Structure 1
Amino acid sequence: MRNITLSNGNIVEVECLSCALTSGLIEPDGGVVIETDHFHAHQDVAYPIRGLIILASKRHINCFDELSEAEKIDYINILTKIRKAQREVLGIEHVYYFYNEDTTHHFHTWMVPRYEWMYSFGRSVESVRPVLLHARNEMNDEENVNEVLEAIKLLTNELNG
C-alpha cells in the first residue's frame, strides 16, 4: 500500500491508484468523464489543469502488447473521441500524450493540454514536468479548481450526451 495525495489535498492509501479509480473505490474530482467496457477516463486527480485527462484500462495490465484486440479498438476510439471533445468543447489546440510502462499504476495514457501560460516553462516535452508541478503547487486555488470542474462537466456532457 502507498499514500497518494489527491489535488483536493486528501490522502488515500491504495495499492494501485488506477485500480481504485476505475473500480469506483475512489471518486475522481468531478467524476468519471467517460467510461467504456475496457477504459475509464477522468480528470487527473493530482494536477488541476483544465482538460487534463487520464485514460486508464480497467484491466490491470502494463503494456500495449497486453491489450486484447477488443481493448485496442476501444482504446483508439475512446482516445479519439476524447481528443475531439477537448478541441471542440474546451478549445484545446495541442495535447501531449504520455504512456509509460515503468509506472507504479497500470496502463494509462495522460492527455496533457498545452495552454499559453505553459510556454514560460518551455515548448518541449521536458517542460511538462515543471508545468505539472506548478499546477499542483500553485493552481489549487478555488477559482482554478472551479474552472477545472466546469471543464469536466462540459467534457462529460459532450462525451455522454
Structure 2
Amino acid sequence: MREINLSNGKTIEVECLSCALTSGLIEPDGGVIIETEHFHAHQDVAYPIRGLIILASKRHIKCFDELTDEEKLDYIKVLTKLRQAQREVLGIEYVYYFYNEDTTHHFHTWMVPRYEWMYDFGRSVESVRPVLLYARNEMNNHENVNEVIKAINSLNKELNNWGGDYEK
C-alpha cells in the first residue's frame, strides 16, 4: 500500500492511485471530467490548480508503447479535445505536458496549465515542481478550490456535449 496526500488535506492508502480513480473507488474532487472506454480524465488530486488535468489509462500499463492501436487513437482524440476545452472554456493559453514511465501509477499524462502567477517560479520545466508545491501549500483555500471545481464542471459540460464515442 502507498500513502497519497490529496490536495484537500486527506491522506489515503492505495496500492495504485490510478486503479482507485479509474475504477471509481476514489472520486476525485469535482468528479470525472471525461471518460472513454480506455481513458479517464480528472483534475489532479494532489494540486489545486484550475485546469490541471490528468489523463490516465484505465488499463494498468506503464508505457506509451504498451497502448494498443485503439488506445493510441483514443488517447490522441481525447487529449486533443481536453486541450481544446482548456483553451476555449478556461482560456488557458499554454500547457506543459508530462508523462513518466517510472511511476507507481498507470500510464498517464499531466496537462499542467501555465498561468501568469507561475512565471514568478521561472519559465522552464524546472519551475513546475515549485509551482505544484506552492499550489498544494498556499492555494488550498475555499475560494481557489471553488474555482477549480467550477473549471471541472465547465470542462465536463463542454466535453460531454462533444458527442461521439466519448460520452459518459
Query: With structure 1 as the length reference, what TM-score do the two structures score?
Result: 0.99
Alignment of 1:1-161 (within 5 A): 1-161=1-161
Structure 2 residues without counterparts, runs of 5 or longer: 162-168
Q: CA deviation at 1:132?
A: 0.3
Q: Percent identity, please.
A: 83
Which consecutive aligned stretches of 4+ in structure 1 deviate over 6 angstroms post-superposition?
Answer: none
**Partner SS, residue 54 of structure 1:** strand
**Per-residue deviation at 1:62?**
0.3
Distance in 2 of aligned mates of 1:125 and 1:4: 24
Which amino acid counterpart does residue 156 of structure 1 have in structure 2? N
| Secondary structure of 1:24's aligned partner | coil
Cα distance between partner residues in 2 of 1:19 and 1:87: 29
Alignment deviations for residues 32-63 of structure 1 (CA, whole Å, 9 cap, x no partner): 00000000000000000000000000000000
Using the alignment, how far apart are the partners of 1:136 and 1:104 within structure 2?
A: 20
- Count residues with an aligned counterpart: 161
CA distance in 1, matches of 2:6, 2:131: 17
Give the match's secondary structure for 1:113. Answer: strand
Q: CA RMSD in A?
A: 0.5
Separation of aligned partners in 1, 2:135 and 2:105: 21
Shift of 1:100: 0.4
TM score, norm. by length of structure 2:
0.95
What secondary structure sits across from 1:50 in the alignment?
Answer: coil
Q: Which residue matches 2:166?
A: none
Letter in 2 for 1:23: S
CA distance in structure 2 between the partners assigned to 1:119 and 1:69 by the alignment: 38
Task: Report the residue type matching 2:16 in the other structure.
Answer: C
